[in-house]
Structure formats: structure tokens, C-alpha cells
A and B are shown apart, each in its own frame.
Chain A
């Protein structure tokens, strides 16, 4: 990057709840410092000023769900030196990807009387299905400390350090007792990507997978363990069909269990 000028940051929204962008504004102690280090060139949720591209770093929140957005994300890519997808919507399709598992027409017409007003795609898809993504930051929402790490890594031209291991490892790190072993609570921690600091188990609750699959997970083994805890196939399917339902490992395991459920 040109050393004489501040790098230009852009924040884009696609189909989402805005929670991941809010994580940036939730860096209350660092926000003004960040604004000092980068030129916030495009961030409509926070500013009416719009600076033209190209941008050094684009943070993209949300999934692609309209024909217009299929085009818009290509424009964003063209204008961006680096493009980072933030959050479950941008990296997996988000909760709105539950439509991908249904016949959308049926799905929609059961709820809406006249489904002709606006344009929407039959599937909700992650950014990487449409353009090259330089880095993916997981979570629904993303962790703001990890976001800060990503910003600082890209500004210094290095890879962000966001460990790809499971929530289980984080449980050990923070000293949680395993909720599955000790209390028999079904938990997706063994297959879920780290990043939250093993939050749910610290609250006597099983992980529900909001950070999506870890690197090389073994969901099949986990489903068997859930089965031994007395969890039915239908419930297992539902567990994988959450905020990261369309992430490959979760999607496949959900589909496999669904088949088994249908056979039994």
C-alpha cells in the first residue's frame, strides 16, 4: 500500500442484520484510533460522506439474495484491493439460507398471498460463491477482537491470526467443564470454528454452531454421540440447519441425517 496516504476502508452490506458491521462500531475504545489509521471511505451506516473507490480493504457483510446484488458484489470486488467477508451471512449464507432447503415457491406462498412484488433469488449464497474472497471471518456475529485483528493484519500486510480449531479447544483454554460429558447437554462445540471464546458452554448451554464449521470437522462422529445422548435425527438436522446451514460440512451432515430419518 502507498505509505503516504491512509489506506481506504469500505464497509458493504448485503442481506444481513447489520450485526457484523455493528461489531466495528462496538469497538468503542478503539474506534477513533481506527478512524485515525484508515480513511473510512465508504460506510453508509455510519457516514453520509462517500469517497469513490478503489478501496484498499473492503469488509463485506451479508449474503447474496437478489439478482441486483449478484452484480453489485462484482463491482465491489473490482473496486477493492482486498475483500474480507465478515460473518455467517457473508461466509455461509446466514440464517436466510434456510430457504435453500425448501422449494422456495412453496416456502414463500405458504406465507405470502401475492408473491409478485420484489425480486429475490431462490437461494441465499455466501460472497465466495460469486467473487474471489481474500479472507473470511466467521461468526454470527463476528467477534470484535477478531475484527480488530483482521484490520490490523491487512493494514500491516500479514495474514490474520484467527485459529481454525474447534470451540472445544477454547473450552479447555478458558477452563470450562465440558457440558456434553458432565451434563449430557448436546453441543456442537467439537465441530464448530473457534472465535467466541467458548461462550455458550460457560453459560451451561451447548454450542449452537454460530461460528460455522471448523477446519476438517467430523460431524458424523458428533451426530452419533448426540444420538447416544438421546437426541433424535430430526433434532440433529435442525441443529445443523442454523445460522450456518449452508456451510458445506453442516449442509452435508444435515442432509445425511435427513435421509436416515426418512429411512427409519
Chain B
């Protein structure tokens, strides 16, 4: 053999528009391109001149699958600019809505987007034909995640209740308590999910990744923490720009992020898990152990197990937050704009999301920078593919191609997120 080209014109079961191009020459992988052709929407540009209070709603529209991540980053960044800290029950509610998004997004990926690959189905609907109970469990888990987001945020996609300083209206205790029973079912279903996905067939494939995630002394990271890696990085979120930078590669409409000191790195569930195993709730740790998943996991295909473990954690923690919830006096903390730069790094379902804003004394945004998880994972995805193809070159072509797609889906890439920051060429009609 040993010259061939694998091409996927339009990658399915990922959010957004991308393709894949792999060229093998004389038995060697000569070229690997994750092609991103999603057009840019210029978010950083259109944020300039907007009021700080609009940033959570505007940036939410970067991604319909993880709007809460954008809203949380925006509010934390603005609060950091204005020197305000939001604590107590308001902080807990923010964690709750974010965990709801994790549950929704993970259930979507595990059941609807990723599991069909392992079982050889084109999609979840076809999978549901043979495994109706499994599909039903996945959909219900996803639904409960959405219910949590809507209970705090007003609706699932682009919630309307999040504002800088807190919320527009506080949920009453009685609006949240009915979720506890649902979440208890969901926690069980998530444990069941861990068991189910752990039994799927996994290619023997590992790489020595540089994992980057947030770390918080007391909690599994969601909204706060230092940016750390398994190779010695340990910085506060404000120093993100000093350690990471973006490069432009021609085949992608999204910038590739690299670490200034170390090049390629990987963010997301696998990174969070490897760096924070000890902070997962006891039932989540237990589920991982029972499934035979070690606290260190370097097989990206097993990210499906890790997402399921994180669902157990998210359900468990959400139950605790609701049980402890007492509405605070005020729905939000007043903020007073001042000229400053604000930063925030939070854990979106797909990994760390970074926002930086310059704001003037009227609260007008003068400058914005947003780095989404998928931009950070592009290099790791391409390296995975290069290595995977070289090792499994002898697989039949259609199987190899499918597994390459699956390898991309390991990262649950979100291409709309990734391409808002590309360098465009203007063509006039």
C-alpha cells in the first residue's frame, strides 16, 4: 500500500462545519488537516462599543450548546474588572446552572453523538432501534440537564436570567426542590451510563498529553480555579495571555492555540479528570473505580467514560446545592463600571473557556478576546489523528475513516465556538 487519502467532506455529529483530510504517502502519514470552514461571526469585533451588561447575552450566541459557559465567563470577567465578588447562594446558583449545562451537553454527546460510533450506528436514532432503553435513558438525562438550566436561567438555550452581579430574579426554593427527585434518578442513570460505556470496545491508543484544566482547592472545577497542567503549569486565570497564544494555520478558519512553553495541549473532560480526580464526589469516584477507570486516563476514546463520570458528579453536586439553597436577600450584587480589564477562565463542558474584556468608565467594551476550548484542542486532535492513522494503517479504508471521525468526536468539538476568531477576507458582492 501505502499511499492513500482519507477525506471527510463534512464531519457529522459535531457542532458546526468542518472536514477532515489525511494523506498517507509510502506508508507514512504525510498530512493531517482538521479543516474548519465555518464562517466567522466577528464576535470580538461586534462586542466593541456594547455595554458591559450585554456581554453575557451576546456571547451566549457564540454557541447554542454551551451558552451558559459563555454567560458565566462574561459575568465573571466583568466582575473581575469592576472589583466585585459574588459569593454565597448566588455563587451556588451559578454553579448549579453550569452543572445543568454539563449534564445536558455530556448526555447529548455520550448518547447522541459518540456512542453510535462505538456500536457501529450512523446515528442515535438507528441505535435506538436496537437499544430503545438506552436511548430513552440518554434522552431523559439530557432533559434533566436542560430542566436544571431552565429552572435557574428561564430557558435551556440562551438563558435570559443571568446578569453581571447575579440574576434578574431568584428562583424560589419550591421551584428547585422538584428537581431533586429527578436528579436522584439522573444520578443513578449516570452511574448506569458509566457501566454501559465502560463496556464499549476501545482501541488501544494512548498519548502523553499535556492536560490543562482549572483547579480549585475544594471543588471539582467549574467557575473558578487556577489554570494548571500535569507538566507543572500553575497560574491564575489573569495570566492566561502570558502563557498561551494563537497561531493561524491556513487550512482552518479557527486559530490554533498553543502554550508558549510547551506547544500542543489538551483541555476538556479528560484534562479535568486527570487533574482533579480527588475532588470528584464520592459516587463519581466510586463509579469510575467500579468501571475500572484509573484516576489517570490517557486514552482519548475513553473520554466517553469520563464524561459519564462527570455526569454522576454533576447530578450529585446539583442535588446538594438545591438541598442547601435558601434564596438570598438580593438577586444580584450592584456593580459600578470603572476603566479596567477583566478576565475569566471557566470550565465549559468541552474545557477551559477564556474571556478578556477592556471596559471604559461608562461600562463600554473597548476590547474583547475569547478563547474557546475547541480552538485549544485542534492541535491535539490533529496529533491524535496522525498517530492513530500511522498505527492502524492496515484497517480497511472505510473502517479507518470512521475511526478517524470517531477520534475527532472524542473531543466533542464545537466548531461554531472555534471560528468566531478567525482572520477573514472580505468579498463584496
| Interface members, chain B 6-35 (any A CB < 8 Å) | 10-17
Q: Which residues of A contact B123 (CB under 8 A)?
A: 40, 46-49
Does A80 have its Cβ within 8 Å of any Cβ on chain B? no
Q: Are B45 and A110 in contact (CB under 8 A)?
A: yes
Q: Which among A20-28, A158-166, A255-263 touches the partner chain?
A: A20-28
- Pick from B13, B42, B51: contact of A47, CB under 8 Å: B13
Residue interface mask A16-35, B partner, CB < 8 A = 1: 11111111011011011001
Residue pair B108, A25 in contact (C-beta under 8 Å): yes
Decide yes or no whether A121 CB sits under 8 A from chain B. yes
Q: Are A112 and B416 in contact (CB under 8 A)?
A: no
CA A48 – CA B114 in complex, angstroms?
11
CB distance from A129 to the nearest CB of B (A): 11
The answer to whether B112 touches A46 (Cβ under 8 A) is yes
Among the listed B46, B158, B248, B405, which residue makes an inter-chain contact with A98, where contact means beta carbons less than 8 Å apart? Answer: B46
Cα(A120)–Cα(B39), bound, Å: 7
B54 at interface by CB-CB < 8 Å:
yes
B321 to chain A, nearest CB (A): 20
> Chain B residues near A200 (CB, 8 Å)?
154, 160, 168
Asked whether A118 lies within 8 Å of B423 as measured between CB atoms, the reply is yes
Instruction: Determine if B17 and A13 form an interchain contact, defined as CB atoms under 8 angstroms apart.
Output: yes
A203 with B169: in contact, given A17-B64, A46-B13 (CB under 8 Å)?
Answer: yes
Contact of A126 with B by CB under 8 A:
no
Known: A32-B135, A117-B425. A199 touches B12 (CB 8 A): no
| Residues in A whose Cβ lies below 8 Å from that of B135 | 32
- Are A205 and B15 interface neighbours, CB within 8 A? no
Known: A25-B108, A50-B12, A116-B423. 16 other contacts (CB 8 A): A15-B38, A18-B416, A19-B67, A22-B65, A26-B157, A47-B13, A65-B39, A70-B429, A94-B61, A99-B42, A117-B423, A118-B422, A119-B427, A121-B426, A121-B427, A124-B41
Residues of chain A touching chain B, judged by Cβ–Cβ distance below 8 Å, are 13, 15-23, 25-26, 28-29, 31-32, 35, 40, 44-50, 65-67, 69-70, 94-96, 98-99, 104-105, 107-108, 110-124, 140-141, 196, 199-200, 202-205, 208, 210, 235, 238, 243
Identify the 4 closest CB pairs spanning chains A and B, nearest first: A19-B64, A47-B123, A48-B12, A49-B122
